[in-house]
Structure 1
């Protein structure tokens, strides 16, 4: 394994296991530093003992590089691979095997940590047939949301990548903020051009239940809306945030009527909706989308968290849009927009 590949694999496995961001960044930075060296310079620096004088390479990453150059698998990587052989969650394996894609991912164009190309290549390496790029919309400035001009540019970038990536397909999309009145935070003309539109609430999450219900109903009934993202907005763990209050039965009924899927968000600090609401959504007859909401490559492997919860709550696989082919998904989203 090439040294830079070993470093990136370590970064992926660290992200997958929820390691601190600074640890992940150290290995990705070192990989970029290795790639920037002239041909033959890496081996020369190892021989001369000057490897750690390269900016971005420290003692731990230098050890990985030296072991890689001997043709052996670095010991640190071996240990992480052994740990990764244990599943992240129990249950949902059959549903995970049926998945073909992911409708909710972010790049460094908004608040993700890696370039579009790295996110797409990682998704393909995990066996996805397709993945949707859904960076944030303009008004979410804290997440560097994309202006209409930046989104148009991103569409050109994705088109160029897809010319090289077939048969894997990176679909165009957005995580569109649901504004307080229920309208969507992007130009309608642009929303029509996108393959998949995820709509989510990111502001005023504590508004009263009646107002939040009205807000969500307007959003899920918008013909551009394909997936309702992390519907309660709750956060678990260190940064706890309570669920938004709304009429779940009414919102899920509207989703079923409009054909808007309900996301089962796989991020460990979200796991949204809670199990009781997943069950109510099943009873309402909605479609589901099991999504990672990944902001880094290693997080693309988190779908098992959502699959385990979906299986536990009796979500039928034939109602999960992330089990569909890209062609079927696009036929569905375009039909919704036209209708």
Structure 2
């Protein structure tokens, strides 16, 4: 179902060229500034007619348009001439192939993603761009899981903003047709006592809930275990996100895993029918292999998720698939291989 995007060939629409460059930069974790230049240029062009774009390209006045700079105007000019832009061609050669060796069969079997963000919280792109890229990659469904109110640094959604977002998700679903479904969701913070950072009534309006610990990650093992067990046994919770909270690389530095009784937490996941997330972000690689093996032995369900904060990061599920396949996780226990109806029925049993 999910697949690598085939390389673009000339002739190519200028907006498509800019979007694909941004996607390729995102999937290889390039700097945000570089990505935003191409996403911003694509947005700027969408408000201008094709004839004007072509006229400006031939006259050399594209940079008079706010949001178009030297690099992005070069891409547009080459596209207008019917050429494959040189920068796009180079990126496709260097960064268009598989992100990791292994897990290809499982990656192709994926149908969805239970953890991704938009610019409503700390993501970099609008909801519709995340959806469009997901559809292009072959997803049949995705769950929009922006952050909850306590995570102010990530612009977490109040109940009022989440209500507005629900209406937008409904509108998107009416527009995309039956081949794809965007589920209403949230990445809700697990509070210190194991309660959730959103009202029960609000959570009840959602299709799927991913719950994660984002605060007091160095809490002692006993209280942390109690906190996590309470959350995964909550009937509103469907997926336990990045359970150890560790960071193994990246711009934020390294962070050790939280200390908790994994046996007790995963047994509670089994009891609560809560999937253990295999978070595919390379800087997280969470849970570590030994905890995936423990959850597998206990009998837990899993969810291979991207935790994407940009469209190109949806491809990061390749890293999680490599791990899941290498560790022998059966595909039928991975909820992101299920179809949309099965996922909805599992997440909403009553």
Give the TM-score band, short-chain normalised: over 0.9
Which residue number in structure 2 is paired with residue 56 of structure 1?
A: 67
Q: Tell me, what secondary structure is at the counterpart of 2:147?
A: coil
Residues matched between the structures, number: 336
Please, which of 217, 222, 238 is the counterpart of residue 226 of structure 1? 238
Partner of 2:129: 118
Q: Does 1:16 align with 2:38?
A: no
Q: Is 1:138 the counterpart of 2:152 in the alignment?
A: no
In 1, are the aligned partners of 2:150 and 2:197 still within 8 Å (CA)?
Answer: yes
Unaligned runs of 5+ in 1: none
Counterpart CA distance in 2 for 1:320 and 1:25 is 33
Deviation at 1:52, TM superposition (A): 1.9
Greater Cα offset, 54-63 or 303-312? 54-63
Q: CA deviation at 1:39?
A: 4.7
Distance 1:198 1:130 in 2: 15
- Cross-structure match for 1:41: 52
Q: What residue is the counterpart of 1:181 in the other structure?
A: 193
Give 1:30 shift.
Answer: 1.2
Per-residue deviation, 1:84:
3.1
Structure 1 CA distance for aligned equivalents of residues 16 and 97 of structure 2: 22
Matched, 1:257 2:271: yes
Secondary structure at the residue paired with 2:348?
Answer: helix
Q: Which moved more, 1:43-52 or 1:290-299?
A: 43-52
Higher mean displacement: 51-60 or 133-142? 51-60
- 1:237 deviates by 1.3
1:202-241 aligned within 5 A: 202-238=214-250, 239-241=253-255
Structure-1 separation of matches of 2:115 and 2:46? 30
- Secondary structure of the equivalent of 2:37? helix
Match of 1:68 in 2: 79
> Which residue of structure 2 lines up, in the alignment, with residue 3 of structure 1?
14
Pick from 36, 51, 54: which aligns with 1:25?
36
Of the three residues 304, 328, 336, the one matched with 2:342 is 328
Listed as ranges, the matches of 1:283-298 within 5 Å are 283-298=297-312
For 2:102, the equivalent position in structure 1 comes to 91
**Displacement, 1:38?**
4.3
In 2, Cα distance between equivalents of 1:196 and 1:296: 20
Shift, 1:156, TM fit? 0.6
Alpha carbons 2:58, 2:77 under 8 Å: kept: no
1:302 is aligned to: 316
- Tell me if the contact between 2:188 and 2:197 (Cα under 8 Å) persists in the aligned partners: yes
TM superposition shift of 1:312: 1.4
How far is the alpha carbon of 1:116 from its aligned partner? 0.5
Residues 233-255 of structure 1, C-alpha deviations (whole Å, 9 max, x = no match): 00121411110000001101110
RMSD: 1.0
How far is 1:314 from its partner? 1.3
- Give secondary structure in 1 for the equivalent of 2:204: helix
Equivalent residues of 2:24, 2:96 under 8 A apart: no
Indicate how the Cα distance of structure 1 residues 118 and 237 shifts in structure 2: closer, same or farther if over 3 A, else same: same
Secondary structure of 2:183 counterpart:
strand
What is the rounded CA distance, in whole Å, between the counterparts of 1:51 and 1:191 in structure 2? 47
The alpha-carbon deviation at position 162 of structure 1 amounts to: 0.4
- Structure 2: 5+ residue stretches without partners: 1-11
1:88-136 deviations in Å (ceiling 9; x for gaps): 1111111111110000010011110100111011101100000000001
